A and B are shown apart, each in its own frame.
Chain A
């Protein structure tokens, strides 16, 4: 059923009884051409683009929990393509382009909101680093503006401009950046993939990966064995565990990242703003909640929950940046599992196992990547070769030295 104001009206008069499920509760078939492990944004997008771009529709997406239970359902919804390094910019810009056409493409309102992403700087060195980044973006045809203090004040008047420990000097603005309603991305892709014949199976954890003569044959799941011509892993925070089922060790650690939402208030924060002198970034959801976050908790964890010192650190930074939020109440906090790669950049590549493909290492930045990640992963799986856009996201780059280390933090995930 196509969504539109008309369908809404016609359903309204029927008491909303005619709506179809957004996706079928599919029965698991014995075999598929492609099995995607992981029903998050990337897995679902991959399935959708396999069908749409490559005509491969005999596809299953296996999700161990409920659809979107992973990071796609718990991230701070920021989308941007303001990257620094050549390996990253074209990929994330492609993602931005796909976001811009997504809703019409999948006929689902994911509330893509290009409200602008503003990264503040507080020192000359930081300004020059942002200039370097902004110029790199412009070289790739990506929009970027370097603002001075007064231009920032004009955009975001109620930050601390008077009494700050680290005074705001200006910011790097990407106007096309913004936010997207996280859950809607999972549901929208699920619906669009489902309509093209993809089977989406929830509560179906993959517990084994069967390999014969160096080639994939299928996966064991909570619902039995499934034969598969090809298998794509898109398990984010759980990547290492799933890869281990195929005997692979990855350059990845799993860390918890927390996020926070305040009680909802009338419009107050109009862009996505990141603090340059501490770990804090914030935007306001359409419901009115201030959605904010900061640094990862800093140690390996699969516990899906955060610690108190990090909450305090985030709120100290928040108060340092915008003391107007002091009386607003933090309503809820939660955590997700980051697949932190060793250079802070992702991996979309083939693996040593024939027919097994890996999509991982997204750290805290993979939501914005969802469309391009799915698009490139679909290509890599369909053609058994990476697309130019994900050519840099190789698994062997750590051995060859072709690292993509935006922060220059080195081989220590909790510093990225």
Chain B
């Protein structure tokens, strides 16, 4: 595959490291004082282990690890490998966490 890094241009996918599903939502941090209940544990287990694994468009995290080291969110069709969109993960994360900041 050839992936277009938002910063470096098109590169062979072997320059990138794959992490996987970018759609899983990380549960909110648990306040250290309170004990961890089953519901919390279940939420984290879902986040850590369970995936949609779709056949079709898939939003996934890649890092241009042998290049600029930017993390990217790549939308890719898992049936054809066609790449539909590439976005810098950090920009998306900033938008997502604007409130936290």
Contacts and interface: CB of A to CB of B under 8 A. Distances in A.
Interface in B71-94: 76, 78-81
B81 A398 contact: no
B49 A307 contact: no
Interface in B11-41: 12-14, 18-21, 41
B50 A249 contact: yes
A149 interface: no
Contacts, number: 67
A298 B80 CA distance: 15
B53 A303 contact: no
Contact of B53 (A252, A398, A411): A252
B68 interface: no
B55 interface: yes
A413 interface: yes
B45 interface: yes
Contact of B48 (A300, A307, A411): A411
A254 B20 CA distance: 11
B49 A398 contact: yes
A414 interface: yes
B26 to A, nearest CB: 13
Nearest to B74: A299
Contacts of A303: 78-81
B18 A414 contact: yes
B48 A240 contact: no
B1 interface: yes
Nearest to A302: B55
B89 to A, nearest CB: 16
Interface residues of A, number: 24
Interface in A291-309: 298-303, 307, 309
A240 B53 contact: yes
Contacts of B13: 299, 307, 309
B10 to A, nearest CB: 15
Interface SS majority for chain B:
mixed
B12 A299 contact: no
Contacts of A240: 51-54
B58 interface: yes
A252 B20 CA distance: 11
B52 A254 contact: no
A385 interface: no
B50 A300 contact: no
A301 B60 CA distance: 12
A302 B51 contact: no
A156 interface: no
A152 to B, nearest CB: 31
A279 B45 CA distance: 30
Interface SS majority for chain A: mixed
A241 interface: yes
A254 B42 contact: no
A342 interface: yes
A402 to B, nearest CB: 12
Contacts of B54: 240
A277 interface: no
Contacts of B45: 398-399
Interface in A307-353: 307, 309, 342
Contact of A251 (B50, B60, B76, B81): B50
Given A251-B50, A300-B78, A412 B55 contact: no
A346 to B, nearest CB: 14
Contacts of B12: 309
A398 B43 CA distance: 11
A302 B20 contact: no
Interface in A93-109: none
Contacts of B55: 241, 254, 302
Given A299-B13, A309-B13, A342 B49 contact: yes
Nearest to B38: A399
Given A240-B53, A412-B19, A414-B20, A299 B60 contact: yes
Nearest to B42: A399
**Residue of B19, B41, B52, B53 contacting most chain A CB atoms (<10 Å):** B53
Across the A-B interface, the 4 shortest Cβ-Cβ residue pairs: A240-B53, A309-B14, A399-B45, A251-B49
Interface of B: 1, 12-14, 18-21, 41-42, 45, 48-55, 58, 60, 76, 78-81
Interface of A: 240-241, 244, 249-254, 298-303, 307, 309, 342, 398-399, 411-414
23 contacts: A240-B51, A244-B52, A249-B51, A250-B50, A250-B51, A251-B51, A252-B51, A252-B53, A253-B21, A254-B55, A299-B13, A299-B60, A299-B76, A301-B78, A302-B78, A303-B79, A303-B81, A309-B13, A342-B48, A398-B45, A398-B50, A412-B19, A412-B20
